[in-house]
């Protein structure tokens, strides 16, 4: 149930002001028609008090019973009911008070029709306003609920996206460690360390957290080192970080799936050695990261280019920036390029927002 | 002595299997392969009794590699994480090793294979392949052996399929390739939004159809963009009309 418009101080002031204006207006009109000033004022106050009571009654009724859209016709009957009630009470009370006043009864009788139609119009305006007010409140509440639901769904989705990326990589790494234990125990120990650091990084970071490119690259390096142990000489990397970009920000853990995709794509699509290039640069208000991997356009299956990793990155970027143009892929000759743009001006607001 | 081959793209993964194999004097490791192409060659050359096969590998995966071999040897699959494949293994009682695995688990898989070999209850890998090829990731392309070359055809590049005895002719812009599968298999596995069976002996890529002409008495032919004409049976005509929204 929405709170009454009377709960708002601004509305109360406005409501009373309008009421006073109507009283004064009626008193002036009555005076103009020849009633003595005190009679005009008292008549006006009495009749508009009834109007005020009817208004309050209507506002409260609407608070507890808001008719459906198709039943708005009921509201008209409310207005009619209250108008007639006011007219009867007004006629009776004013007659009792001013019955002795010369010519008043007759004047009252003549003016009753005008009084009734005016009250009808005023009450109609009031009811229209109140219905609109309650509707707007209802809509606001609905918006809020929708926003809440969306935010929760978004968080759950982000969490899920992150979870799905790990198992294949994790089990293969453990298998490599298993193999190293027998032949090269020192390397096995080193890889356990790298894997632990990498996993710690994954657990520690929130999907909504923002990090500097430098931090993200350190984390990525751990990942690359592990992959190099797994694939040996077949995998090498070239990283180029442009000037003044190390301190630029990006959503945590966004690069790893892109590089993972490039490695898979590169390694699984070619049987030779694979060089993965990672280039970071600045373009106006964007941090631009380009990842290049070799591929064979003849045999590359279409689903690899938009594999799960990239889809999840695309989805994350959309959830964060409401934009679908931030991740682009191009396959040209024997190089597949994945480019991700991270808006920087928005990021500072988001960081504050998230903290 | 039984001949074995290890096929895995990660050298460390091969080395651990090798280590376990070498503990068994009855096994002779005849080859180690880093991808499916090498695997096909080595299997033809050595005719092994048993292979240890990884699934995710460069160019063609383990299943696609097996499809290229006429009489596949016994297989023990090794994989890190592949829910769909594991389900297929379980339903076909083929043994598989989940990485990382130890010598004890390895020996158990080996014992199971030896037992099956003695009792002649070896599992049919063909059935397994049929079941895995229905997974969405497996139905995106067709892998074919063309002489000594291996051809990978993305399904959208297939114009139409034609039954030819025990084989299926896969027609593409570059001509046709033979695949030792049945029409029924392709009808089940090819994406429904792309292919329709127009005739007992034909499956058409519907995106390639430019028009359907009447042909002889109550038959039809579908004319493809390349100009090729594919027979359409009466029931096939109904099906095509439905999928094309005519």
Q: What is the ipTM of this complex?
A: 0.80
For the ranges A49-53, A96-100, A196-200, B104-108, the lowest mean pLDDT is seen at A96-100
> What radius of gyration do chain B's Cα atoms show?
21
- Is pLDDT above 60 for A349? no
Residues of A in contact with B34 (CB under 8 A): 271
Residues of B in contact with A167 (CB under 8 A): 80-81
Mean pLDDT of A296-318: 67
| Predicted pLDDT of residue A303 | 44
Which tokens is A231 given?
Answer: 């694939």
| Predicted pLDDT of residue A2 | 54
User: What digits encode the pLDDT tens for the residues A201-243?
Assistant: 877 766 567 889 999 999 899 999 999 988 888 899 999 998 8
CA pair distance B190, A148, nearest whole angstrom: 42
Looking only at the bridges linking them, the beta strands covering B160-164 and B202-205 are antiparallel
Contact status, residue B237 vs residue B206, Cβ threshold 8 Å = no
| Predicted pLDDT of residue A76 | 87
Confidence category of residue A68, pLDDT binned at 50, 70, 90 = confident
Q: DSSP readout, B1-27?
A: -EEEEEE-S-HHHHHHHHHHHHT-TTE
Instruction: Tell the CATH topology of A165-354.
Output: Heat Shock Protein 90 (3.30.565)
The continuous run of DSSP H or E covering A117 comes out as: helix A104-164
- pLDDT-flagged residues of chain B (< 50): none
B33 or A350: which leads in pLDDT: B33
Nearest chain A residue to B154 by CA distance is: A301
In this complex, is the C-beta atom of B104 within 8 Å of any C-beta atom belonging to chain A?
A: no
Query: With an 8 Å Cβ cutoff, are B59 and A269 in contact?
Result: yes
In this complex, is the C-beta atom of A269 within 8 Å of any C-beta atom belonging to chain B?
A: yes
In this complex, is the C-beta atom of A298 within 8 Å of any C-beta atom belonging to chain B?
A: yes
CATH 3.30.565.10 residue window(s) in chain A: 165-354
Mean pLDDT computed over every residue of chain A: 83
Query: With an 8 Å Cβ cutoff, are B140 and A303 in contact?
Result: yes
Nearest chain A residue to B13 by CA distance is: A176
| Predicted pLDDT of residue A347 | 46
CA pair distance B42, A42, nearest whole angstrom: 112
In this complex, is the C-beta atom of B98 within 8 Å of any C-beta atom belonging to chain A?
A: yes
Closest CA to B3 of B62, B64, B74, B57: B74
CA pair distance B110, A342, nearest whole angstrom: 52
Confidence category of residue A355, pLDDT binned at 50, 70, 90 = very low
| Predicted pLDDT of residue B23 | 95
Contact status, residue A263 vs residue A227, Cβ threshold 8 Å = yes
Strand partners, A335: A294, A332
| Predicted pLDDT of residue A354 | 45
CA pair distance B22, A290, nearest whole angstrom: 45
Residues of B in contact with A180 (CB under 8 A): 12
Strand partners, A97: none
Query: With an 8 Å Cβ cutoff, are A299 and B152 in contact?
Result: yes
The continuous run of DSSP H or E covering B97 comes out as: strand B96-98
| Predicted pLDDT of residue A160 | 62
Query: Taken in order B108, A167, A185, A236, is the CA torsion positive or negative?
Result: positive
Query: With an 8 Å Cβ cutoff, are B12 and A229 in contact?
Result: yes
Of A172, A177, A269, the CB nearest to B80: A172
Query: With an 8 Å Cβ cutoff, are B80 and A178 in contact?
Result: no
| Predicted pLDDT of residue A157 | 67
Of B12, B141, B156, the CB nearest to A176: B12
Query: With an 8 Å Cβ cutoff, are A302 and B140 in contact?
Result: yes
Query: With an 8 Å Cβ cutoff, are A179 and B37 in contact?
Result: no
Cβ-based neighbours of A56, under 8 Å, separated by 6 or more: A6
CA pair distance A345, A285, nearest whole angstrom: 6
B16 or A156: which leads in pLDDT: B16
Closest CA to A313 of A277, A331, A340: A340
Looking only at the bridges linking them, the beta strands covering B141-146 and B149-154 are antiparallel
Nearest chain B residue to A296 by CA distance is: B59
| Predicted pLDDT of residue B138 | 65
Which tokens is B90 given?
Answer: 């379980």
Closest CA to A52 of A23, A76, A13, A30: A23
What is the phi-psi region of residue A178: left when phi exceeds 0, alpha when psi lies from -120 to 50, beta otherwise?
A: alpha
Query: With an 8 Å Cβ cutoff, are B12 and A271 in contact?
Result: no
Confidence category of residue A352, pLDDT binned at 50, 70, 90 = very low
CA pair distance A55, A174, nearest whole angstrom: 76
The domains found in chain B, sorted by start residue, are 2-132 (3.40.50.2300), 141-244 (2.40.50.1020)
CA pair distance B56, A172, nearest whole angstrom: 11
Which tokens is B88 given?
Answer: 């297929």
For residue A256, CA distances in Å to A2, A58, A183, A216, A309 come to 48, 62, 30, 9, 9
| Predicted pLDDT of residue A272 | 77
| Predicted pLDDT of residue A141 | 87
Strand partners, A57: none
The continuous run of DSSP H or E covering A339 comes out as: strand A335-343
Query: With an 8 Å Cβ cutoff, are A232 and B100 in contact?
Result: no
């Amino acid at each position: 149930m929405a709170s009454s418009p009377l709960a708002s101080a601004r509305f109360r002031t406005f409501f009373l002001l309008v009421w006073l204006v109507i009283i004064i207006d009626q008193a002036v009109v009555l005076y103009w028609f020849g009633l003595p000033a005190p009679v005009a004022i008292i008549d006006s106050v009495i009749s508009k008090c009834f109007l005020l009571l009817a208004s309050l009654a209507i506002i409260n009724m609407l608070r507890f019973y808001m008719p459906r859209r198709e039943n708005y016709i009921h509201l008209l009957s409310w207005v009619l009911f209250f108008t007639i009630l006011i007219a009867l009470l007004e006629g009776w009370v004013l007659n009792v008070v001013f019955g002795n006043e010369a010519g008043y009864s007759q004047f009252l009788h003549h003016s009753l029709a005008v009084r009734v139609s005016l009250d009808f119009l005023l009450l109609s305006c009031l009811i229209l306003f109140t219905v609109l007010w309650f509707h707007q409140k209802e809509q606001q509440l609905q918006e809020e609920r929708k926003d809440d639901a969306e935010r929760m769904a978004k968080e759950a989705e982000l969490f899920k996206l992150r979870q799905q990326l790990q198992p294949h990589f994790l089990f293969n790494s453990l298998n490599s460690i298993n193999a190293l234990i027998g032949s090269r125990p020192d390397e096995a120990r080193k890889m356990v360390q790298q894997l632990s650091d990498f996993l710690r990084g994954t657990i520690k970071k929130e999907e909504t957290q923002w990090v500097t490119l430098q931090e993200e690259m350190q984390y990525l390096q751990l990942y690359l080192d592990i992959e190099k142990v797994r694939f040996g000489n077949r995998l090498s990397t070239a990283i180029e970080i442009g000037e003044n970009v190390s301190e630029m920000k990006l959503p945590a853990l966004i690069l790893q799936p892109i590089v993972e995709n490039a490695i898979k794509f590169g390694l699984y699509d070619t049987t030779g050695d694979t060089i993965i290039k990672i280039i970071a640069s600045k373009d106006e208000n964007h941090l631009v990261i380009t990842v290049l991997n070799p591929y064979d356009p003849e045999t590359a299956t279409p689903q690899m280019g938009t594999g799960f990793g990239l889809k999840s990155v695309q989805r994350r970027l959309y959830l964060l920036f409401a934009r679908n143009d931030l991740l682009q892929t191009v396959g040209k000759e024997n190089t597949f390029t994945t480019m991700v743009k991270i808006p920087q001006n928005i990021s500072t607001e988001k960081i504050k927002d998230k903290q | 002595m039984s001949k074995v081959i290890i096929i895995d793209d990660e050298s460390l993964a091969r080395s651990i299997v090798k280590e376990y194999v070498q503990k068994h004097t009855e096994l002779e490791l005849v080859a180690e392969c880093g991808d499916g192409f090498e695997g096909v060659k080595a299997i033809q050359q050595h005719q092994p009794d048993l292979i240890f096969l990884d699934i995710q590998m460069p160019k063609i995966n383990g299943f696609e590699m097996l499809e290229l071999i006429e009489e596949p040897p016994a297989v023990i699959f090794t994989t890190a994480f592949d829910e769909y494949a594991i389900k297929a293994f379980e339903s076909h009682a083929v043994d598989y090793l989940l990485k990382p695995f130890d010598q004890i688990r390895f020996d158990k898989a080996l014992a199971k294979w030896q037992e099956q070999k003695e009792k002649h209850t070896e599992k049919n890998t063909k059935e397994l392949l049929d079941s895995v090829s229905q997974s969405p990731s497996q139905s995106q392309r067709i892998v074919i052996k063309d002489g000594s070359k291996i051809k990978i055809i993305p399904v959208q590049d297939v114009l139409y399929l034609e039954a030819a005895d025990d084989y299926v002719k896969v027609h593409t812009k570059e001509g046709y390739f033979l695949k030792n599968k049945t029409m029924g298999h392709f009808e089940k596995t090819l994406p429904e939004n792309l292919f329709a069976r127009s005739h007992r002996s034909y499956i058409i890529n519907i995106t390639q159809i430019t028009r359907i002409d009447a042909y002889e008495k109550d038959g039809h032919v579908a004319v493809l963009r390349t100009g090729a004409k594919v027979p359409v049976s009466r029931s096939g005509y109904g099906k095509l009309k439905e999928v094309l929204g005519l």
